[in-house]
């Protein structure tokens, strides 16, 4: 049995931070390998990469569950003077959360999950390319089996459900029941709005999204916008991948990706502003706190609020396009010369139920999430078999979005998440939309003149406000606490509905 004999609690705290930082340092290496696998790695590298990731996961887990961390935590938790010092209480609280979580998981399960996820990610890519859920089914069965084991090791309250145990990793303390209580009324109100829109007398034209533009110019344009809104390219990269994401190893090395279609610069721009929002959050964490909770993002819901805010509240606003419209000409010449500001703004805000989540508009997007949330809960509770997954998925698309899914690629194979072993993750996207709307209302009222600033391409005051109010805190507050602290209110669907109705009804002449 290891023994810790510090002369005082602050020494224990330093040792604790050192040990936790070592584990996070190794995890930051994993992050680079994961990014590399999605963007750079040659095809034949996949087997060896899964072995590398399995080894790193095993080693990181071993560092995280070192009993000395538990002993050091206990010493720190018992010293009120230490806990009174700035940041200490929050760091210790969050290190305890992580430690308790990690020590519940057997090393073999952690390694098996890491290895299976890496292999199954590749299997998903191939199955998706061939639009064959049946090819991917054995991998998903294996993954759901492992995730069920994981959830049961972690445990959940008697009045909760297995899904909660997994979701807690992404959105601390959020329960399926609480999410249901927000999603059910939100679904009703969204469907009313969407139905109104589908019957609107004067929908915007789609010309913007039918304009063919060269990929190289699109790359230059989205990179320019990412830089303009505040992503620092000396501390990050932008690459291309099938499923856009933002990763990287720390706040000075943030790796985001996007994707391109010749006829849809709007998709590349939305993806890029979205990932840049994540990236700006990561870059806004304090380097001095790298490797400890105060230097880490608080939750995926809050993370997603940052990406959504830049993608939607900023990037789909009329004020953004007052600045962006002439910029298009700088990058595409006459390629966009035929488009009016109204056509671009309308085109960026077309609402149309579709099959693909990442291509969805702001209004229907949340219905895509609700499908996944329902399916995940059923899979994990055992009320749905993997075999029946495509049918369940397709029925829910019919019910929520009124659509008949034509094939697996367009249906239940479209997302990377399950193939990576991530369940309990999807609802954080809609939480992000809710947080984004609520935070943006507060930012607007505090800063005052955001429309004028956007119209002249000045995004710095907004970025600075987010840096100060959200980013720099890291995990100092729990997400619900942070929301209340910054906006003065608990999370509510009202700001999101105000945002959507206030913007979309005029665009659609309602």
CB of 244 to a copy of itself, least distance (A): 17
Contact 401, 353 (CB under 8 A): yes
Cβ closest to a copy of itself, residue 196 vs residue 253: 253
> What is the rounded distance in angstroms from the CA atom of residue 429 to the CA atom of residue 411?
18
Count of residues engaged in binding a copy of itself, rule: CB under 8 A: 34
Tell me which residues in 379-418 interact with a copy of itself (CB under 8 A).
none
Cβ closest to a copy of itself, residue 231 vs residue 345: 231
Q: Which residue from 141, 180, 253, 319 is in contact with a copy of itself, where contact means CB under 8 A?
A: 253
Q: Quick one: which segment of 47-55, 263-271, 459-467, 481-489 binds a copy of itself (CB under 8 A)?
A: 47-55
CB of 25 to a copy of itself, least distance (A): 5
Q: Which residue from 189, 223, 252, 505 is in contact with a copy of itself, where contact means CB under 8 A?
A: 252
Tell me which residues in 269-328 interact with a copy of itself (CB under 8 A).
290
Of 303, 427, 304, the closest CA to residue 369 belongs to 427
Tokens of 174: 């959020």
> What is the rounded distance in angstroms from the CA atom of residue 271 to the CA atom of residue 434?
19
CB of 15 to a copy of itself, least distance (A): 17
Cβ closest to a copy of itself, residue 233 vs residue 381: 233
Of 17, 96, 105, the closest CA to residue 61 belongs to 105
CB of 104 to a copy of itself, least distance (A): 25
CB of 421 to a copy of itself, least distance (A): 20
Tokens of 238: 């932008």
Cβ closest to a copy of itself, residue 30 vs residue 211: 30
- CB count in 10 Å sphere of residue 291: 19
Rg (CA), the chain: 23
CB of 117 to a copy of itself, least distance (A): 17
Tell me the residue ranges of DSSP E strands in 230-389.
236-240, 246-250, 253-258
Contact 296, 251 (CB under 8 A): no
Residue with token string 């009329």: 318
Q: Which of 112, 171, 275, 343 is catalytic?
A: 275
Tell me which residues in 222-251 interact with a copy of itself (CB under 8 A).
232-237, 249-250
Tell me which residues in 49-78 interact with a copy of itself (CB under 8 A).
49, 51-52, 55-56, 59
Q: DSSP secondary structure string, 362-386? A: HHHHHHHHHHHHHHHHHHHHTSS-G
CB of 443 to a copy of itself, least distance (A): 27
Distance of alpha carbon 122 from the chain centroid: 21
Cβ closest to a copy of itself, residue 187 vs residue 237: 237
Of 235, 192, 247, 231, the closest CA to residue 364 belongs to 192
The length of the chain in residues reads 510
Cβ closest to a copy of itself, residue 68 vs residue 173: 68
Q: Which residue from 8, 18, 48, 177 is in contact with a copy of itself, where contact means CB under 8 A?
A: 48
Distance of alpha carbon 368 from the chain centroid: 15
Give me the 5-44 binding string for a copy of itself, x by CB under 8 A, dash otherwise: -----------------x--xx-xx--xx--x---xxxxx
Cβ closest to a copy of itself, residue 40 vs residue 181: 40
> What is the rounded distance in angstroms from the CA atom of residue 53 to the CA atom of residue 500?
42
Cβ closest to a copy of itself, residue 293 vs residue 493: 293
In the annotation, is 275 catalytic?
A: yes
Contact 261, 267 (CB under 8 A): yes
Give long-range contacts, CB 8 A cutoff, 24+ apart: 363-366: 363/190, 363/193, 363/194, 363/197, 363/500, 363/504, 364/190, 364/194, 364/401, 365/429, 365/430, 365/433, 366/183, 366/186, 366/187, 366/190, 366/430, 366/433
In the sheet with 246-250, reading across from the earlier edge strand, the strands are 236-240, 253-258, 246-250
CB of 198 to a copy of itself, least distance (A): 45
Residue numbers annotated as active site: 275
Residues engaged in binding a copy of itself (CB under 8 A): 22, 25-26, 28-29, 32-33, 36, 40-45, 47-49, 51-52, 55-56, 59, 232-237, 249-250, 252-254, 290
């Amino acid at each position: 049995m290891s023994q810790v004999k510090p002369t005082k609690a602050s020494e224990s705290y330093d040792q604790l931070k050192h040990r936790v930082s070592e584990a996070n340092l190794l995890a930051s290496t994993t992050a680079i390998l994961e990014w590399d696998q999605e963007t750079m790695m040659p095809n034949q590298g996949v087997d060896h990469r899964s072995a590398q990731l399995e080894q790193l996961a095993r080693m990181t887990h071993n560092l995280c569950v070192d009993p000395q961390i538990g002993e050091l935590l206990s010493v720190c938790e018992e010293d009120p003077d230490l806990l009174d010092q700035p940041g200490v209480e929050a760091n210790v609280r969050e290190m305890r959360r992580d430690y308790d979580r990690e020590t519940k998981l057997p090393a073999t399960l952690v390694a098996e999950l890491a290895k299976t996820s890496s292999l199954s990610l590749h299997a998903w890519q191939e199955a998706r390319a061939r639009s064959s859920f049946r090819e991917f089914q054995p991998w998903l069965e294996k993954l759901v089996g492992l995730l069920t084991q994981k959830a049961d090791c972690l445990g959940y309250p008697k009045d909760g459900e297995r899904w909660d145990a997994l979701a807690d990793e992404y959105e601390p303390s959020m329960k399926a029941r609480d999410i249901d209580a927000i999603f059910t009324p939100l679904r009703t109100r969204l469907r009313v709005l969407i139905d109104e829109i589908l019957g609107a007398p004067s929908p915007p034209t789609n010309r913007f999204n039918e304009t063919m533009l060269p990929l190289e110019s699109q790359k230059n344009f989205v990179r320019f916008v990412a830089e303009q809104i505040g992503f620092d390219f000396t501390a990050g990269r932008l690459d291309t991948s099938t499923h856009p994401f933002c990763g990287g190893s720390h706040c000075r090395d943030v790796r985001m990706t996007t994707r391109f279609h010749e006829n849809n610069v709007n998709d590349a721009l939305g993806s890029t502003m979205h990932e840049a929002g994540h990236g700006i959050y990561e870059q806004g964490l304090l380097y001095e706190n790298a490797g400890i909770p105060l230097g880490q993002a608080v939750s995926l819901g809050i993370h997603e609020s940052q990406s959504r805010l830049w993608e939607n509240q900023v990037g789909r606003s009329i004020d953004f396009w007052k600045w962006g419209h002439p910029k298009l000409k700088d990058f595409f010449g006459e390629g966009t010369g035929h488009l009016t500001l109204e056509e671009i703004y309308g085109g960026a805000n077309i609402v149309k139920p579709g099959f693909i989540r990442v291509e969805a508009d702001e209004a229907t997007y949340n219905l895509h999430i609700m499908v996944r949330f329902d399916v995940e809960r059923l899979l994990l509770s055992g009320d749905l078999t993997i075999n029946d997954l495509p049918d369940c998925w397709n029925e829910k698309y019919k019910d929520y979005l009124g659509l008949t899914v034509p094939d697996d690629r367009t249906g239940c194979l479209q997302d990377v998440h399950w193939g990576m072993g991530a369940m309990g993750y999807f609802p954080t996207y809609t939480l992000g939309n809710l947080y984004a709307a609520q935070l943006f209302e507060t930012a607007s009222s505090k800063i005052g003149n955001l429309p004028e600033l956007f119209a002249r391409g000045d995004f710095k005051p907004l970025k600075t406000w987010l840096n100060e109010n959200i980013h720099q805190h890291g995990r100092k507050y729990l997400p619900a606490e942070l929301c209340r602290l910054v906006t003065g209110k608990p999370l509510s669907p009202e700001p999101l509905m105000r945002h959507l109705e206030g913007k979309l009804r005029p665009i659609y002449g309602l």
